[in-house]
Amino acid sequence: MSIEAEVITRIENHVGRITLNRPKAIHALNRAMCEAMIEALLAWRDDAAVKSVLIDHAGERGFCAGGDIRMIAESGAGDASEAKAFFMTEYQLNHLMFEYPKPITAVVDGIVMGGGVGISEPAGVRIATERTTYAMPETGIGLFPDVGGGWFLPRLPGQTGVWLALTGARLKAADTVALGVHTHFVASENIEGLKAELLAVPADPKAVADRLADDAGPAPLDAHREAIDRLFAFDTVEDIFAALQADGSDWALKQLDILKTKSPQSLKVSLRQIRTGAKLTAFADNMAMEYALGGRVVRTHDFQEGVRAVIVDKDNAPRWSPAELSAVSDDLVEDLFAPLPEGEAWKPLIG
């Protein structure tokens, strides 16, 4: 019995096509999948026969649920070498896509979280459907919104990126399109027609998407945008907690209750990541920051405990340590963000 490739790459009518093909795992990324995508993208970069790139997925469960969290946790319980090797490759893929000289279209029909965000946000055309569910839920497992989250989230309108990073909120297409997370909405029943048109007009995927896009409908989040911008504008998590408590509205108190379930360490790390990323001028610098951070965070108690509670035992009752925000010291956070020595630091792909 032949084993199907977890990533299928080919050229069709001047379009380089990448199809994620690990449907039972909702296409969760492993290192080999990232390497296969890098190999294809490098081969197509200077190939005049390839006018644009289209990335999609097999099956109907979702685009990509993230990275191979179990492997990362198991590696983090040891010396984290395998986790770091994965992050190095995954972040090189993210950066390659961000800097790619040809148009990339990502069709995110279904779940798109974590690593799936990392391979769709760098695309110039990002298509959502009514089945799309977008989230960066990492604070719930003791991690932080990596794969470029430090770059993309603070560049969303107002403080919505901070709110998404800290709460792990899940958004549907009306909100993601309104925020600019995704550029277009196309009903799932029209996706195959869209792909056919992209193959027919390979050099200008944006024009195709502009022509075929549907109305995503009103954005539910609009009702809370003012509150998000006001209550999540602070530079410490303690001040955000205090602002939510003082506001006292049902919505604000609900956000506070959600935040209290997250890893205090992750909340502080994620806010620092977002505020730092907002000031960076190069995507590569953000990825170097996240790589240094990731190699350390996966070895912490909270990541190991978060994976146990949410993914392994599924009791959804993580015991965070430190358990309180006040116990997460500035020195602890500072140590996690320290740059790596030159020989260990993240580097973009040569060429």
> What DSSP designation does 127 have?
E
Helix (H, G, I), strand (E, B) or coil at 52: strand
CB 263 within 8 A of CB 330: no
**Annotation marks residue 67 as catalytic:** yes
Q: From the candidates 138, 175, 290, 302, give the one annotated as an active-site residue.
A: 138
* Residue from 115, 142, 277, 295 carrying the catalytic annotation: 115
Q: Is 138 a catalytic residue?
A: yes
Q: Which residues contact 220 (CB under 8 A, 6 or more apart)?
A: 172, 174, 175
Cα→Cα distances 331→99, 269, 278, 336, Å: 34, 12, 22, 9
338-345: which pairs have CB atoms within 8 A and are 24 or more residues apart? 338/292, 339/288, 339/292, 340/291, 340/292, 340/295, 345/288, 345/291, 345/292
Among residues 6, 56, 121, 146, the one annotated as catalytic is 146
Catalytic residue among 62, 67, 295, 306: 67
> What's the CA gap between 83 and 62, in Å, rounded?
24
Cite the beta strand spans of the chain per DSSP E.
7-12, 15-20, 52-57, 62-64, 104-108, 111-113, 125-128, 133-135, 184-185
One-letter amino acid for residue 190 of the chain: N
Say whether 313 is catalytic.
no
Annotated active-site residue 247? The verdict is no
Active site residue ranges = 67, 115, 138, 146
